Amino acid sequence: MRHLFSEAGLARLDTFVQPGMLCAFDFDGTLTPIVAQPDQAQMPAMMRERLMALSKYAPVAILTGRGLADMRAHMGFEPAYVVGNHGNEGLPGWEANAQRFAALCKKWHAFLRDHLRPQGEDAGVLIEDKRYSLSVHYRAAPDQAVAAARLLTLFKALSPMPRVMGGKCVFNLLPPEAVDKGWAVQQLLEISGAPGAMYIGDDITDEDVFSLKRSDVLSVRVDFFKDSAADFFVQNQGEVGQVLDALIGRMKIRSKLAC
């Protein structure tokens, strides 16, 4: 995995970027800094302005673990596509599973609420109910390693066993048959008719996109991680803005040449 702003990375951008390609992004940790309380996340104004400028040349999509209702309160603009719950909310046909997924997550939530001890060993643990999935945060736990081990033990008692996806001090619980972000990106490519897609994400849940290894998908990970399947990386969330500038600049030039 090489730095996107290396000679090889810039050369890849030059050959790959074209107007009309799908530009897809994770939200937390990619377009906005990760915060201790998820409801306090807000997209920085400069990031929002760049995305709005980019949307003049290409369809913009946000793929997030958040629920759609929650997501719309944190964006400040309307991209072409918003897909929530790790790909399980917002794409055609998702409603078929909605009632069943919601009932399952409600059952899991009740079990965890009854068995967590927030005034004792589970201090700092927060359950975020996204209706069709759950996110259990332990960033505020006094001992994160102990909290993670305790939560994994609790998850084994859930029935049916959820698909557990780790993250940055969070476990995402999804129904066993839930889809993922990789599937969602492929669906968006088909729906949009875009000639290719660039995807930027920062976490384990984004590896489902990185591992697609399609010639028409260029993937970028925020923060270097040696085991990532992403094509390239940027050093931190702040460099994502520079990526957007690079995309806008190249698409603007290609649009003028096409006229």
The catalytic residues are 26
Helix, strand, or coil (residue 161): coil
CA dihedral angle for residue 14, residue 15, residue 21, residue 23, rounded to 10 degrees: -50
Distance between CA atoms of 187 and 173, rounded to whole angstroms?
A: 22
- Nearest one of 89, 35, 104 to 112, comparing CA atoms: 104
Contacts of 252 (CB under 8 A, 6+ apart): 57
Position 74: which residue type? H
DSSP for residue 204: G
What is the spatial order of strands in the sheet that 81-83 belongs to?
2-3, 232-234, 217-222, 197-201, 22-25, 60-63, 81-83
CA dihedral angle for residue 26, residue 100, residue 124, residue 206, rounded to 10 degrees: -20
Residue 224 vs residues 77, 234, 237, 251: alpha-carbon distances, Å: 29, 7, 11, 26
The residue written with tokens 């660039």 in the block is 198
Q: What is the CA radius of gyration of the chain?
A: 19
Distance between CA atoms of 198 and 179, rounded to whole angstroms?
A: 20
Treating both helix axes as pointing N-terminal to C-terminal, what angle do 7-16 and 239-258 enclose, rounded to 10 degrees? 40
